Amino acid sequence: MKILVVEDNESVCSMLEMFFMKEGYQGVFVHDGQRGFEHFNKEKWDLIIVDWMLPVMDGVTLCRKIRELSKVPIIMLTAKDSESDQVLGLEMGADDYVTKPFSPLTLMARIKAVTRRFQAEAGSGEDPQYVASGYFKISKESREAYYNGQLLKNLTPKEFDLLYYLVKHPKQVFTREQLLDSVWGYQFYGDERTVDVHIKRLRKKIGTDEQPFIHTVWGVGYKFDETAAENEG
């Protein structure tokens, strides 16, 4: 697996290089955002790891520019751990978000899980490319979602994936851990806020307070249900 790492901390790069060698990964390390973008354009990558705080071009900008051109999996590394920072990173197209200091073993597990999910989506013929309900029509192939016939233009990549997954399983209750595993592609590691943040923002973009579509099942998780008459959360 060929991984581009855009990280200006050389000690972090040295540590990752050591673990990459153990896993048989090929790592290319650059230390500013502009050079990272140049390397992204030169070659094909299986995964890109981006630090938030970078010279020349910051990691959030780099992530956004890459996502405009490619669906390559992106993991963001950062010392910022507030909810707003996490939301920003995910909105710019990152597939996962790992805060510093981090365990190299945990990062290796995230790398494997993110790439495993990416490869499964690319190669599987079993997952339907189109799902529909009373209010929603979603095309996985074109990455377009319609609500009441209107294109939802402001969905982030993960909001789209989450909506697609929930609409595909109407009225089925999912725990946060199950959504992390199915939508993000990794087992639960302790930050369930990722799901909560995306649910909260997705609710604001679809439906109304009277018809929220995505309901909280207290003590369990979330479900998509167009038929429920009252707001459960």
Any domain includes 20: yes
The answer to whether position 231 is within a domain reads no
- The residue out of 67, 100, 123 marking a domain boundary is 123
53 lies in some domain:
yes
Give the range of the structural domain holding residue 192, as residue numbers without chain letter.
Answer: 130-224
**DSSP states along the chain:** -EEEEE-S-HHHHHHHHHHHHHHT-EEEEESSHHHHHHHHHHS--SEEEEESS-SSS-HHHHHHHHHHH----EEEEES--SHHHHHHHHHTT-SEEEESS--HHHHHHHHHHHHHHHHHHHH-SSS-SEEE-SSEEEETTTTEEEETTEE-TT--HHHHHHHHHHHHSTT--EEHHHHIIIII-S---S-THHHHHHHHHHHHHSS-SS--SEEEETTTEEEE-SS--S---
pLDDT single digits (tens) 123-167: 544 556 788 888 899 998 888 999 988 899 888 888 999 999 999
Query: What pLDDT was estimated at residue 69?
Result: 85
pLDDT bracket for residue 77 (50, 70, 90): confident
* More confident call, 184 vs 189: 184
Domain count, the chain: 2
Domain boundary at 63, 90, 123, which? 123
The pLDDT of residue 230: 43
Structure confidence at residue 232 as a pLDDT band (50, 70, 90): very low
Q: What is the mean pLDDT of residues 111-120?
A: 76
Q: pLDDT tens-digit profile of 38-58?
A: 999 988 899 999 998 899 999
